[in-house]
Structure 1
Amino acid sequence: MLACVIHGPGDLRVDELTSPSPGPDEVLVAVRYGGVCGSDLHYWRHGGVGDFRLREPMVLGHEVVGTASSGPLAGTAVAVHPATPCGLCAECADGRRHVCRDTRYLGSAARTPHVQGGFAAEIAVPAGQLRPLPEGLPPRRAALAEPLSVALHAVRRAGAVAGRQVLVTGAGPIGSLVVAAAKAAAAAHVTVTDLLPAALGYARAAGADVVVRADDPADPGWPSEADVAVEASGTAAGLETCLRLVRRGGVVVQLGMLPPGPSPFPGNLLVSREIELRGAFRFDTEFDDALRLLAAAPAFDALVSAVVPVREAEAAFALAADRSRSCKVLLDFGD
């Protein structure tokens, strides 16, 4: 079978691998689509994500949908929840499985041996990670379930947003999905900032009320203040914008993964304005909510900007890395 394997920084290959044999309590899934994530791009460009460094070849990918080809769900279109928490650690016991200290996550170098990912024609995964697609949800749109889950979790970390003014910095795929998640949670007004007009166009398609060029301080769309801000660009500049524009006593959620090492930010504002700064990492039960939301909203189709055959994986990654030309790029493992 074909699989998209990262061997080192800049060394992405479409390799032929042996099809897996499912173990006890595992199901074989014939993958149809896999979404290229920012973390996949980091492994491709830099050989790691944050503190997670590549030490051996690894199949990439954790945003996958396909068809179960074994077990009770054989023949059923499914989405794959990429996380397998340990169920034993203090975090799991506390109901925070998404920050499990011993989790296994598809396509992650956080542990060695690495957890092989879902960018392969067939994968074997625990049966508990499979979710049948809701009626009417096409697999192409369902491939957004994982990043939408990340966005839903970030909005929930912000607390109640119904009737509130929300600011989102960064209009990449995750930032645009944060817009959709905030609007689904009844936010009254969502402003999005980014440097790229194309990215802002996708944010508007996701439901943004106002889009702002981040490098234009004179843009009339800048809010005087926001109740909640979600930083989705993964930059210190984005975090500073959130801290300066959120109201006194407001909440800032850091969702974008900042570069390794120290990141400067105006911490004095946390004190003088009593701002709450909260992190958001991955998700848990939001995956099921994401599938239901996707099934009810065909407008999400606009965020899938390209579908590329897996044999052209490197071109797909280059396209996904060019935010002036793409939002969410999918690899197609179908015939």
Structure 2
Amino acid sequence: MRYKRSIKKNFSVKEQCSFSIREQELRTYRDILVKHQTLSMLCLILTQKSKWVEINNRLKSIKMKNIKIYLILAVGFLAVAGCQKDDIQTFDVNSPGVVFPGAGDAAIYKGYNSADKTYYINESFLNIPLSQETYTIDFPVKISGVAVDKDRTVKYKVIAEKTTALPSQFQITEAKIPAGQQYGYVRFVLSRDNALDNLSVKVSFELVDSDDFKVGSNEYCKGVLNWSNMLPMFPASSFYTRTYNMIILSPLTKLSTSVSYYSPIAHKAVLDALGWPVNYWPRYSNSFEDPGTGTTTILGAYYTDLYARKLQKYLDDYAAANGGKRLMHNAGDGQGIVIQARVNGAVYNPNI
């Protein structure tokens, strides 16, 4: 202030008055600016508060919507759960279920084929003494309930349109679950017939409800018994059927588990071409096992082309030795069609 006063002493009164007016104007402008900044800050705060209020309201709205959604889902889940509980098929000891063995029984019962959901048994009189005119086969069945202390009857129905065996070639003598057992049988008595030296026949049948049992599942109620006087088929489960389809060319894929293109002659050709015994058939695996070593019963995918080429040579040699006549399938969907090996790059041709 002393500095300012000393400066003012060097100016006239008029000039000093002018300075005072300017100082007052500056103070006024400063006050206005301060008020303006205060108002701006206040407006900014109010604006932000308004936004936060809006955001908070929106969050509350979203939370309420989510709560409503959760409530709707919870009610729906309870309703569905209630329906599912009502749809579950249950059995009590007085009405248990009966089925053929499935994939879970493959350690002992190897006949279930998951491709067509059918249990297969393949038999032959080949190893039965010629003096024996009949051959008894017990086709396995099992229950899904508990064992009881009495024999119980199993009912079945032969599917005529899918059965090729004549009535004179078989009889079904009984079908039951013995007392105290989980597994039972449908008993077939087969009759020797020289007509089966060059062909196979089958009986297709299915389980039906009886006084003692309900059919447990549609996936495990179909059975097929094949037999002939020729080579018996290998087990119909997936690992064995893939070995066949990896070597024998057909419209099926090489990893198919179907047996629709199986024929005894093609089976025998594979055994002869590869030097496998009659009672031997390796399981397929996506690996490097070689059954030719004699140390494994698994055919690895790496060797399938090698064995298919051995089969092709066998088929070509057979044709050369028989005036160009080639081996043909004698059963299945390929009956009457030339047997072909699935070598790499081969294309199936039903008109060879």
Task: State which structure, 1 or 2, has the greater radius of gyration over its C-alpha atoms.
Answer: 2
The answer to which structure has the higher helix fraction is 2
The answer to which structure has the higher strand fraction is 1
Q: Same fold per TM (> 0.5)?
A: no
Q: TM-score range by the shorter chain?
A: under 0.3
Comparing both chains, which one has the higher relative contact order based on Cα–Cα distances under 8 Å and sequence gaps of 6 or more? Answer: 1
Tell me the TM-score normalized by structure 1.
0.26
